[in-house]
């Protein structure tokens, strides 16, 4: 069945956690796909005052989603805007930074590791010709895009990933989204979308795609990709005369900042596989019902 299995893999990975300010639960399941291509990050204590949660829905492979789960929150913390208190700007810059980091030798090497392309007998990455610049000293510099040596002309992965991230600090929630994963908040039981699904037929997305030289066929960019924003997917980001935010596919996230209040029950981050089956309100209703008698992660497990 190509990239699909004859029957779904229904084993679930679930986790609960909390700190003095919030509780969270998560669950993931491979389903019908031949491999698990999704990843997540749950960091209730990103720093002393901030929590970070992210859902990364991979397509064409798992490496970009895993790369984002490993590095995106680290880049948010490092960015000068974050240090200055501007969470939204630090998130936007960090989304773009993922694409920059995945280019060049060091990016290729990290993607190879995350893709499990390691020789089990030698412990070396298969196909990598080592060079002095690729040794331990390179790890001391944040110079991902410009390392010299083998694979220095690596333009980045052809696979990609959505990224839907929620950052909570005190009474403020900042949501950054690129792709068709979604963040929803329940306020007095009413579902409110805090992100927009970036599909190619949205007018703003369609205009950018066409201006950048792409086309839309059967709801897919160039007849291939069914979402208009993503990290990775470098084949759609090759126009050297356009900035990153105006490429056929862009990693540029929508940023939404919400002031939390006593009426807020919970937020939900989920991949499009959930939203293809349930509306935002249906999912909120389901979670409310489940939370009456189960642990935090159990509603996630029930949905999957």
Tens of pLDDT, residues 291-301 = 877 655 555 54
Given the structure tokens 């080592």, which residue do they identify?
Answer: 130
For residue 25, pLDDT beyond 80:
yes
The pLDDT score that the predictor gives to residue 6 is: 72
Please give the residue that has the higher pLDDT: either 117 or 66.
66
* Separation CA 178–CA 195 (nearest Å): 9
Cβ distance 90 to 81 under 8 Å? Answer: yes
Token pair belonging to 176:
């950054």
Q: Does 161 map to a domain?
A: yes
pTM, 2 dp: 0.86
* Separation CA 93–CA 251 (nearest Å): 10
Q: Does 136 map to a domain?
A: no
Q: Does 98 map to a domain?
A: yes
The pLDDT score that the predictor gives to residue 139 is: 43
Please give the residue that has the higher pLDDT: either 257 or 28.
257
Note down the domain range covering 66. Answer: 37-103+155-303
* Separation CA 220–CA 40 (nearest Å): 25
Token pair belonging to 215:
């086309």
Number of domains, the chain: 1
For residue 132, pLDDT beyond 50:
no
For residue 50, pLDDT beyond 60:
yes
Q: Does 113 map to a domain?
A: no
| CATH code for the domain in which residue 191 is found | 3.60.40.10
Q: Does 60 map to a domain?
A: yes
For residue 128, pLDDT beyond 50:
no
* Separation CA 208–CA 245 (nearest Å): 9
Q: Does 69 map to a domain?
A: yes
* Average pLDDT of the segment spanning 265-278: 90
The pLDDT score that the predictor gives to residue 214 is: 96
Range with top average pLDDT, 8-22, 135-149, 168-182: 168-182
CA-CA-CA-CA torsion sign (167, 169, 170, 174):
negative
Mean pLDDT, all residues of the chain: 84
Q: Does 73 map to a domain?
A: yes
């Amino acid at each position: 069945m190509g990239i699909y299995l004859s029957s779904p893999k229904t084993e679930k990975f679930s986790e609960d956690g909390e700190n003095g300010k919030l509780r969270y639960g998560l669950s993931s399941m491979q389903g019908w796909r031949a491999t698990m291509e999704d990843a997540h990050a749950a960091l209730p204590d990103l720093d002393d005052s901030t929590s970070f949660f992210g859902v990364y829905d991979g397509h064409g492979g798992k490496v970009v989603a895993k790369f984002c789960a490993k590095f995106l929150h680290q880049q948010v913390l490092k960015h000068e805007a974050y240090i200055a208190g501007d969470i939204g700007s630090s998130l936007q810059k960090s989304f773009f930074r993922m694409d920059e980091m995945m280019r060049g030798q060091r990016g290729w090497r990290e993607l190879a590791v995350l893709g499990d392309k390691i020789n089990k007998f030698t412990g070396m990455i298969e196909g990598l010709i080592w060079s002095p610049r690729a040794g331990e000293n390179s790890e001391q510099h944040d110079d991902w895009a410009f390392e010299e040596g083998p694979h220095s002309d690596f333009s980045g992965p052809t696979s990609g990933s959505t990224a839907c991230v929620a950052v909570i600090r005190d009474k403020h929630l900042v949501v950054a989204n690129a792709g068709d994963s979604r963040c929803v908040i329940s306020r007095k039981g009413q579902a409110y979308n805090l992100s927009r699904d970036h599909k190619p037929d949205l007018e703003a997305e369609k205009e950018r795609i066409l201006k950048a030289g792409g086309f839309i066929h059967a709801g897919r960019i160039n007849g291939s990709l069914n979402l208009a924003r993503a990290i990775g997917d470098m084949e759609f980001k090759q126009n050297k005369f356009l900035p990153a935010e105006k490429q056929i596919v862009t990693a540029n996230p929508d940023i939404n900042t919400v002031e939390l209040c006593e009426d807020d029950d919970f937020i939900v981050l989920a991949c499009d596989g959930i939203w293809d089956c349930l509306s935002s309100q249906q999912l909120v209703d389901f979670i409310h019902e489940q939370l009456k008698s189960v642990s935090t992660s159990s509603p996630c497990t029930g949905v999957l």
